[in-house]
Amino acid sequence: MNDLKLKDSTVEKLVEKTLAEIVTDNIRSAIVFEEYGLDFCCKGNRGLKDSCADKNIDVQKIVNELINLSHNGNGKENPTDWQLDFLVDYIINNHHQYVRRMIPVISLHADKVASVHGKNHPETLRIADLFLAVREELEMHMMKEERILFPQIKQMVQTQMENSQYFAPPFGSIQNPIRMMENEHTSAGDALSQIRELSNNYTHPEDACNTFKALFSELKEFEEDLHKHIHLENNILFPKSIELEIQLMQK
């Protein structure tokens, strides 16, 4: 498998795909992209070849790992096959609940580490500030999704199932709140990317206490979960919802 060459047609197609398309085809591909810091959610519309070039990563190495990964797992979990209302519930019950559970824990640890270690490690002060901004944005973001966007998506699904007349929402089109949510995804993703850089890819210093170590571990896991969360919305839920609205309006 490691002797694959880029001239192989199958490999060439994979290289030309976007990161979002690759993860949409096989959600387990996120494992590889996370390891190499390839953004498949907010910047998932970039091709694999270009994304690797930007980070000076050997694209052949990534291709080989992706192919090996697909052979080492059944890959049966494919959110693209899920009904939109089920996908909405999955996002709320898994990713939204995870964010709500971890935000106060990480905030507490970030503030404590900044207070104790801020003098010797000033980056912890900036990390605490950045995570506070992420917390405030995500809390408001999830509320808007759960009160406005997601109910509208579910209403569209019900309209389609009942084959009834579709009435446009007060905000005009589903594309309007979706555009706002995508912008907020980018903002939160950028802030966490800054935290990753400040923390040297979540590498704690030698004098780190247990809370310091726990904080970096929690931040790493939080960012990885957010990437999958955003991928499900930006690359699957939102495009399919826009497509459904167009279909309903044409009736």
Which pLDDT tens digit goes with each residue over 154-211? Answer: 999 999 999 999 988 999 999 999 999 999 999 999 999 999 999 999 999 999 999 9
In the three-class reduction of DSSP (H, G, I as helix; E, B as strand; rest coil), residue 18 is classed as: strand
How high is the pLDDT of residue 197? 96
Number of H helices, E strands in the chain: 12, 0
pLDDT of 152 above 70: yes
